[in-house]
Amino acid sequence: MTQSRRKFLSILSFMSFGLIANAEPAKKKQLSHHVFFWLKDPSSKTDLDKLIQGVQALGKIPQVKKIHVGVPASTEKRDVVDNSYSVSELLFFESTEDQKIYQDHALHQKFIQEHSMLWDKVVVYDTMEV
């Protein structure tokens, strides 16, 4: 390859990158679906592990773009902080339609059937990013 040809290809590659960068669409607003579970028996490590495993498997549903599963963090105790729940399930979707497909999905329905006996309270917060 000649020096001039190499330079030409280098410029071409730089220009293409510029075009791709400019063509990139604006970041899609995400819908967060945050579910808090209170176990019937909060002292049962077996029930906790079973629920955590069940929740983690929900990440296989294609509409779920991101999943964050956890337990109350050891942050400072304050009046406004609710750390009474057992498991937190935080999922991200690209639209309300995707969240609906997830709700009706066989894997989600199976999760409810096989785990709902473990909890006595659930609170859900659905948020659309602004």
Q: Which positions lie near a copy of itself, rule CB under 8 A?
A: 29-34, 36, 52, 68-76, 78, 80-83, 85, 88, 90, 92, 96, 99-100, 103, 122-130
Q: Minimum Å distance from CB 87 to a copy of itself?
A: 9
Q: How near is the Cβ of 50 to a copy of itself at its closest, in Å? A: 13
Contacts of 26 (CB under 8 A, 6+ apart): none
Q: Which is nearer to a copy of itself, 20 or 102 (CB)?
A: 102
* Nearer Cβ to a copy of itself (96/109): 96
Closer residue to a copy of itself in complex, CB, 18/126: 126
**Sign of torsion over alpha carbons 29, 30, 31, 35:** negative
Q: Report the residue number, 11 or 128, with the smaller CB distance to a copy of itself.
A: 128
Shortest distance, position 22 Cβ to a copy of itself, whole Å: 25
- Cβ within 8 Å of residue 39, ≥6 positions away: 47, 48, 51, 86, 87, 118, 119, 120
What's the closest the beta carbon of residue 69 comes to a copy of itself, in angstroms?
Answer: 6
Report the alpha-carbon distance of residue 90 to residue 68 in Å, rounded: 5
